[in-house]
């Protein structure tokens, strides 16, 4: 244990040597601040991104559930029932209700006709989307609730040619008029209004959507002033948002009470806000995990880079330790020598890391929520900032003490006994191969650590180089794997080329499909599928129904596909929620009194597939079982057909032929890849990943530069001897270049495989976490670029010390030795 006098001596030594060592302290502060700040900033960004949607949702004054309270049944009825809404508002536990109606609206041509027909468009009755479940304005301003001639448009689905400030003529119709209008008759609207677009808005339900969900987006939102005038005559449907005194915990009881109020035969449709929130958080999770992985890589790099710098800084005073011992210093005092400067530098670097992390905080959250996040400025995540800075200080301080103890006289370190250098073999090989003397000497300086007082920390130089390569290769491998996932739909469940949807009617005749698809030489396989929901062991799950042994099916993660009608394939997330394993038996309820026992055959990466606005399968969520278990599913009349093309087939020509099976004039479509929300979210991350990777690359290159500079500086005596023996300035520069090159080659040989292995390991963990097929990618071109770049940097770094070696006064240096 050091005494007060030991500490005073150490502090005195720090003040006396500060002028000689301040550059090393500054390098430690700056590198620890940059790379450590990058690590803390990435971890804070991951936390902020994951918590972004709940924070955004809370800012909208959200409802707890939304229920269908009006539904147009025939030409003489209305889709608005204020009496039913009043009954719901009077239920126990209901705090507040607001509603919106779907008005029958058509865009009018200058002559008053409606060439596009009429369809229901949302209009707030009493504050829904204006005060409750508030929309977020991303351009312009919110419409005045008291004006009927203003509206906002959905920013995520409206055509780009519609702009803020545009004015359009809208006609509003009764349900009976809308039915006649859509059959081609000309009908005079109940009301005609020239409406001005005041802003573009995003709805809270759109916070994290997949491509299936976005098919519902688009169109205007009309004001309460207009809705109150027209709800009694022109509403096609009504949705009522309910806020409960018990919050989410009271939803199940409220649903049961509301269902008892609904008329007999009325469709039961509930939309629970917590389910939307959970879906958004699942969609955001891959982005936040990727940021956390990146932060972990940067944190490891910060610790190792700082550890390398600490070791070099403490070794600068190693020559004085024997003198201190001879003057009577105790072992504890000798160990403390050099620690005050290192400790202050580590503390300053950790503080700077916190500042850098705060400066980086505006890049978060990343992903689709960023556009609507309520506060995107500086953020202070004290859990990450405080905990991360404390961890950096604690680990690096402990490392400094360990290094100081090892190099103290009488400590763990021992001088090597003189003997042949470790690089002797390679030096002989270089000479035997006819390489010039400068090359042989450069190899010796890089590989022979020397002995005794002149021993050089060879492992430190090679280790710093290897670290830089490991960091770069890990980042490159993980990034390439992530990019491959995004660009290969089969990895996230879309294991076919096209999905055919009939539009109206909602099924495709299989006899016509068989006649067309079986003769098409471009078609490799096809499968008819059915959409439904089922309760599996009490949990409501979206379902894809298909025949056992279907030629086209979602890609498997474990087990096998459907062999019989008594089996089910689950998404990995659904399997985890059910607390089951492959091979277990589950109970399936598909409506009415029909209950089945089925065995879990395997797990699959499920695609985003289904009808817009309904509960549908998503990446990792849902089930695949025989269509025979779905009530109402008729053999030969699937909802969609999945088609796989042969390799080399022309997708454009095939799409045109397939369109004949699902005519566009009846709403049919031939759709390509429908991306899950997780992939949509990744594509909206912007430049944040590139900025973080660039900053980490700067830190890694700086570590490489410092390692090479320290190695060359510690070989000054050897260079002076070579100059005395007749080496020219050019030969000395070549020797230094060879030394740097060999150091990088050795570090690269160790760092490349380690970095690739670490990147693959982290990607496998990430892929399993988000329920996709784990397929890590090792980009050969990027590896070659990293190796070539490392060699180029090594030779650039060697230029300055090489010139300095040529100008070194050899006699003065050797005399000082």
Band (629; pLDDT cuts 50, 70, 90):
confident
Assess whether pLDDT exceeds 50 at residue 742: yes
Residue linked to tokens 């500042």: 355
CA-to-CA dists, residue 291 to 183, 287, 364, 485, angstroms: 53, 6, 10, 16
Residue linked to tokens 């900033």: 41
pLDDT of residue 414: 47
Interacting residues of 17 by C-beta distance below 8 A, sequence separation 6+: 317, 341
CA angle 527, 529, 530 (to 5 degrees): 165
Band (75; pLDDT cuts 50, 70, 90):
very low
Read off the pTM.
Answer: 0.73
249, two tokens: 């915990």
Q: Where are the beta strands (DSSP E) in 7-158?
A: 65-71, 94-107, 119-124, 136-140, 150-154
Q: Give the model confidence (pLDDT) of 638-676 as tens digits.
A: 888 999 999 988 988 988 888 888 877 666 788 888 888
CA-to-CA dists, residue 292 to 295, 368, 557, 629, 712, angstroms: 5, 18, 25, 42, 36
Contact 577, 278 (CB under 8 A): no
Contact 171, 105 (CB under 8 A): yes
Q: What's the CA gap between 188 and 121, in Å, rounded?
A: 18
Helix (H, G, I), strand (E, B) or coil at 109: coil
Residue linked to tokens 């890089």: 446
Assess whether pLDDT exceeds 80 at residue 406: no
How would you class 41 by CB atoms within 10 Å of its CB: exposed for 0-12, middle for 13-18, buried for 19 or more?
buried
Band (100; pLDDT cuts 50, 70, 90):
very high
How many residues in the chain?
817
Residue linked to tokens 């932060």: 295
Give first-to-last CA distance, the chain, whole Å. 35
Please, where are the H alpha helices in 537-645?
572-578
**Residue 645 DSSP code:** E
CA-to-CA dists, residue 816 to 716, 717, 719, 813, angstroms: 12, 10, 14, 5
Band (452; pLDDT cuts 50, 70, 90):
very low
pLDDT of residue 115: 82
pLDDT of residue 321: 57
Q: Give the model confidence (pLDDT) of 547-558 as tens digits.
A: 999 999 999 999
Q: What's the CA gap between 316 and 338, in Å, rounded?
A: 9
Interacting residues of 77 by C-beta distance below 8 A, sequence separation 6+: 175
* % the chain with pLDDT above 70: 81
* % the chain with pLDDT above 90: 22
CA-to-CA dists, residue 453 to 328, 514, 624, angstroms: 21, 85, 72
Strand 270-272 relative to strand 556-559, pairing: unpaired
Q: What's the CA gap between 256 and 258, in Å, rounded?
A: 6
Contact 722, 735 (CB under 8 A): yes
Maximum Cα interatomic distance, the chain, rounded to a whole number of Å: 110
Q: What's the CA gap between 268 and 163, in Å, rounded?
A: 37
Assess whether pLDDT exceeds 60 at residue 324: no
Q: What's the CA gap between 696 and 356, in Å, rounded?
A: 13
Tell me the CB-side half-sphere exposure of residue 162, using CA atoms within 13 A. 22
Q: What's the CA gap between 795 and 704, in Å, rounded?
A: 12
Assess whether pLDDT exceeds 70 at residue 811: no
Q: Specify which residues 624 forms β-bridges with.
A: 544, 569
Q: What's the CA gap between 64 and 648, in Å, rounded?
A: 50
Q: What's the CA gap between 285 and 492, in Å, rounded?
A: 15
Interacting residues of 564 by C-beta distance below 8 A, sequence separation 6+: 548, 626
**Average model confidence (pLDDT) across the chain:** 81
CA-to-CA dists, residue 6 to 310, 319, 330, 727, angstroms: 21, 18, 8, 46
Q: Give the model confidence (pLDDT) of 472-521 as tens digits.
A: 788 888 888 888 888 889 898 898 999 888 766 667 777 788 888 888 88
Q: H or E element: which one contains 198?
A: strand 191-202
261, two tokens: 């109020």
Give the count of beta carbons closer than 10 Å to the beta carbon of residue 747: 25
Q: Where are the domains of the chain?
A: 1-46+280-415, 97-226, 416-492+676-817, 495-672
Which is nearest to 472 in space by CA: 793, 87, 710? 793
**Residue 75 DSSP code:** T
Q: What's the CA gap between 239 and 230, in Å, rounded?
A: 15
pLDDT of residue 401: 80
Q: What is the arithmetic mean of pLDDT over 623-646? A: 87
Q: What's the CA gap between 295 and 692, in Å, rounded?
A: 9
Helix (H, G, I), strand (E, B) or coil at 527: strand
How would you class 248 by CB atoms within 10 Å of its CB: exposed for 0-12, middle for 13-18, buried for 19 or more?
middle
Contact 759, 473 (CB under 8 A): yes
**Residue 484 DSSP code:** H
Contact 103, 172 (CB under 8 A): yes
Helix (H, G, I), strand (E, B) or coil at 532: strand
113-127, 425-439, 650-664, 677-691: least confident range = 677-691
Strand 235-244 relative to strand 523-536, pairing: unpaired
């Amino acid at each position: 244990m050091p005494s007060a006098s030991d500490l005073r001596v150490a502090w005195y030594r720090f003040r006396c040597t500060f002028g000689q060592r301040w550059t090393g302290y500054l390098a430690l502060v700056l590198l620890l601040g940059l790379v450590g700040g990058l690590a803390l900033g990435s971890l804070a960004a991951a936390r902020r991104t994951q918590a972004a949607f709940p924070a955004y949702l809370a800012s909208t004054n959200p409802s707890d559930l939304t229920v269908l309270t009006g539904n147009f049944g025939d030409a003489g009825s209305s889709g608005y029932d204020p009496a039913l809404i009043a009954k719901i508002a009077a239920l126990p536990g209901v705090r507040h209700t607001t509603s919106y109606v779907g008005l029958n609206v058509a865009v009018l041509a200058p002559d008053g006709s409606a060439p596009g027909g009429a369809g229901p468009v949302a209009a707030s009755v009493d504050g829904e989307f204006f005060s409750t479940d508030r929309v977020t304005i991303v351009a312009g301003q919110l419409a005045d609730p008291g004006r009927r001639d203003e509206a906002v448009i959905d920013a995520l689905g409206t055509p780009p040619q519609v702009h803020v400030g545009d004015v359009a003529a809208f006609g509003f119709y009764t349900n009976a008029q809308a039915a006649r209008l859509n059959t081609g008759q000309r009908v005079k609207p109940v009301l005609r209004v020239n409406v001005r677009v005041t802003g573009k808005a995003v709805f809270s339900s759109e916070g994290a959507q997949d491509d299936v969900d976005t098919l519902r987006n688009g169109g205007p939102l009309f004001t309460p002033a207009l809705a109150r005038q027209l709800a009694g005559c022109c509403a096609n449907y009504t949705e009522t948002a309910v806020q409960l005194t018990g919050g989410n915990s009271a939803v199940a009881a409220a649903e049961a009470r509301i269902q008892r109020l609904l008329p007999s035969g009325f469709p039961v449709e509930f939309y629970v806000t917590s389910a939307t929130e959970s879906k958004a958080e699942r969609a955001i999770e891959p982005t936040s995990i990727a940021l956390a992985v990146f932060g972990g890589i940067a944190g490891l790099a910060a610790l190792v880079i700082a550890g390398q710098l600490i070791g070099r800084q403490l070794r600068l005073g190693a020559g004085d330790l024997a003198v201190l011992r001879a003057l009577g210093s105790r072992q504890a005092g000798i160990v403390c020598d050099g620690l005050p400067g290192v400790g202050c530098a580590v503390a300053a670097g950790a503080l700077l890391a916190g500042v850098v992390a705060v400066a980086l905080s505006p890049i978060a959250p990343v992903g689709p929520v960023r556009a609507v996040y309520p506060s995107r400025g500086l953020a202070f995540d004290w859990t990450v900032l405080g905990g991360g800075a404390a961890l950096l200080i604690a680990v690096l301080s402990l490392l400094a003490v360990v290094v100081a103890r090892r190099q103290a006289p009488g400590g763990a370190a021992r001088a090597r006994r003189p003997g042949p250098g470790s690089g002797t073999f390679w030096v002989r090989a270089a000479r035997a191969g006819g390489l010039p003397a400068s090359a042989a000497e450069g190899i010796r300086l890089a590989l022979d650590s020397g002995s005794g007082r002149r021993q050089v920390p060879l492992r430190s130089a090679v280790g710093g180089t290897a670290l830089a390569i490991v960091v770069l290769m890990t980042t490159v491998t993980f990034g390439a794997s992530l990019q491959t996932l995004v660009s290969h739909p089969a990895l996230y469940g879309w294991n076919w080329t096209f999905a055919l949807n009939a539009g109206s009617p909602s099924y495709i005749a299989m006899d016509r499909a068989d006649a067309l698809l079986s003769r098409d030489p471009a078609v490799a396989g096809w499968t008819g599928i059915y959409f439904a929901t089922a309760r599996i062991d009490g949990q409501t799950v979206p379902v894809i129904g298909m025949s056992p042994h279907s030629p086209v099916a979602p890609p498997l993660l474990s087990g096998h596909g459907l062999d019989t009608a008594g089996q089910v394939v689950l998404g990995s997330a659904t399997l985890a929620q059910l607390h089951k394993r492959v091979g277990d038996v589950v109970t399936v309820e598909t409506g009415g009194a029909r209950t089945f026992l089925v065995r879990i055959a395997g797990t699959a990466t499920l695609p985003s597939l289904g009808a817009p606005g309904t509960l549908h399968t998503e990446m990792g969520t849902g089930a695949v079982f025989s269509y025979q278990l779905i009530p109402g599913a008729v053999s030969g009349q699937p909802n969609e057909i999945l088609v796989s093309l042969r390799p080399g087939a022309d997708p454009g020509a095939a799409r045109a032929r397939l369109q004949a099976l699902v005519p566009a004039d009846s709403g049919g479509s031939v759709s390509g890849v429908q991306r899950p929300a997780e992939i949509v979210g990744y594509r909206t991350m912007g430049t944040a990943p590139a900025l973080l990777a660039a900053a980490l690359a700067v830190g890694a290159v700086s570590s490489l530069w410092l390692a090479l500079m320290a190695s060359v500086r510690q070989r000054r005596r050897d260079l002076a001897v070579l100059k005395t023996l007749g080496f020219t300035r050019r030969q000395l520069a070549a020797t230094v270049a060879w030394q740097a090159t060999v150091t990088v080659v050795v570090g690269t040989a160790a760092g490349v495989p380690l970095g690739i292995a670490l990147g693959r390991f982290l990607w496998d963990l990430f892929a399993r976490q988000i329920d996709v097929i784990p397929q890590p990618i090792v980009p050969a071109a990027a590896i070659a670029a990293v190796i070539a770049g490392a060699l180029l940097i090594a030779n650039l770094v060697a230029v300055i010390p090489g010139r300095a070696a040529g100008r070194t006064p050899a006699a003065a240096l050797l005399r000082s030795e």
